[in-house]
């Protein structure tokens, strides 16, 4: 059936309901949600943090939020797989746009991200962030921990990101170590999935290595996550390089031997018991992508976050 309107991101009168744009046209907000700076009444706020000044290998993740939004257009109109429903029938989701970063002064970046994240969290909405390199998760964790207390961290990644720093470095490989040292996350309730490198410290965080994932069913991985977090309020961070480069070539530090997108999406689908209070997807670098493979995977990860939240709201309002 032909759409009755277009550019839903700008013409929508409500934060609820499907869009009708053709998948190949129209304004490219995340999943066609309304672009707005007014987040009053929103259940979920999606925003981008286009920063890649902390990378240690290939840059380009500053273009990640744009690419994820573009790839998410394919989710428009139909009931969302694998959730069997219109995610936006009851769940009010808006696209807040991007964080404005001073690329001439990176030392201001963490404070800028943290302040805006705190402002959005004060609205009562769930904050879903599109990165950007993985350094952005550090100020996001700080903002969420101020509201919820020390968090359980669920980290999908090829790297532990526990390298030492002095607390001042702008580095995407050390934010987890900093979060442990500053009491922002509880390492005894945190878990890393897909790790395929070694760092000097693990801080007691549970690790499921890449080769172990190959021997595990998705349901067993999900169970390990639920058991480890133990009902604690949880932040999920998804570095797209968790996936094998065959499924996510467009990233700054690809590592062979990772899981498929199908397997990890199956894991996410089974995290209905997780008390998720914030989430991000990071390290999408479109200059190294092919046919939007990586952007499609990342947008689907973000779509699964939204699906889990929609199911939670459905349970709460039943």
Q: What is the pLDDT along the chain (318 residues), one digit of tens a residue?
A: 445 678 888 888 888 888 878 888 888 899 999 999 999 999 999 999 999 998 999 999 999 999 999 999 988 667 899 999 999 999 999 999 999 999 899 899 999 999 999 999 999 999 999 999 999 999 999 999 999 999 999 999 999 999 988 888 888 889 999 999 999 999 999 999 999 999 989 999 999 999 999 999 999 999 999 999 999 999 999 999 999 999 999 999 999 999 999 999 999 999 999 999 999 999 999 999 999 999 999 999 999 999 999 999 999 987
Instruction: Give, in words, the CATH class of 8-317.
Output: alpha beta
- Rounded CA separation 55/107 (Å): 14
Q: Confirm whether residue 157 is marked as ligand binding.
A: yes
For residues 316 and 122, give the distance between their C-alpha atoms in angstroms, rounded to a whole number. Answer: 21
CB atoms inside a 10 Å sphere around CB 140: 27
Does the annotation list 304 as a binding residue? Answer: no
86 is in an annotated binding site: no
**What is the rounded distance in angstroms from the CA atom of residue 285 to the CA atom of residue 63?**
6
Phi, psi of 72, rounded to the nearest 5 degrees = -70, -10
List, edge to edge, every strand of the sheet that includes 191-195: 34-35, 93-98, 44-49, 126-131, 276-282, 234-239, 152-156, 191-195, 206-209
Contacts of 31 (CB under 8 A, 6+ apart): 72, 73, 75, 76, 93, 303, 306
Measured CA to CA, the distance from residue 96 to residue 116 in angstroms comes to 11
CA 137 → CA 21, 46, 122, 183, distances in Å? 32, 15, 18, 15
239 belongs to an annotated ligand binding site: yes
Rounded Cα distance between 175 and 210, Å, is 21
Instruction: Name the nearest CA neighbour of 259 among 156, 154, 118.
Output: 156
154 sits in which H/E element: strand 152-156
Query: Token pair for residue 57?
Result: 């290998």
Tokens of 284: 């999408």
Distance CA(35)–CA(240), nearest Å, equals 25
């Amino acid at each position: 059936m032909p759409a009755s309107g277009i550019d839903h991101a700008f013409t929508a009168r409500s934060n609820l309901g499907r869009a009708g744009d053709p998948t190949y046209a129209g304004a490219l907000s995340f999943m066609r949600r309304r672009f707005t700076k007014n987040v009053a009444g929103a259940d979920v706020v999606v925003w981008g943090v286009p920063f890649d000044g902390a990378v240690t290998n290939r840059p380009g993740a500053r273009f990640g939020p744009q690419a994820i939004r573009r790839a998410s257009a394919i989710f428009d109109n139909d009931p969302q797989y694998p959730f069997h429903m219109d995610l936006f029938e009851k769940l009010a989701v808006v696209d807040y746009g991007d964080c404005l970063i001073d690329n001439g002064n990176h030392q201001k970046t963490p404070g800028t991200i943290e302040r805006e994240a705190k402002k959005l969290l004060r609205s009562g909405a769930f904050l879903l962030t599109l990165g950007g390199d993985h350094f952005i998760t550090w100020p996001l964790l700080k903002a969420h921990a101020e509201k919820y207390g020390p968090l359980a961290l669920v980290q999908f990644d090829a790297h532990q990101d526990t390298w030492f720093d002095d607390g001042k470095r702008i580095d995407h490989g050390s934010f987890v170590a900093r979060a442990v040292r500053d009491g922002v996350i509880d390492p005894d309730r945190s878990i890393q999935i897909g790790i395929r490198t070694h760092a000097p410290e693990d801080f007691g965080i549970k690790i499921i290595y890449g080769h172990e994932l190959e021997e595990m069913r998705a349901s067993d991985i999900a169970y390990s996550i639920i058991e480890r977090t133990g009902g604690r309020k949880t932040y999920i961070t998804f570095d797209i390089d968790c996936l094998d480069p065959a499924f996510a070539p467009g990233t700054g530090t690809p590592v062979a031997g990772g899981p498929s997108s199908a397997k990890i999406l199956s894991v996410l689908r089974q995290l209905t018991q997780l008390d998720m209070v914030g989430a991000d997807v990071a390290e999408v670098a479109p200059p190294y992508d092919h046919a939007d493979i990586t952007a499609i995977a990342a947008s689907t990860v973000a779509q699964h976050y939204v699906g889990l939240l929609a199911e939670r709201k459905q349970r709460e309002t039943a």
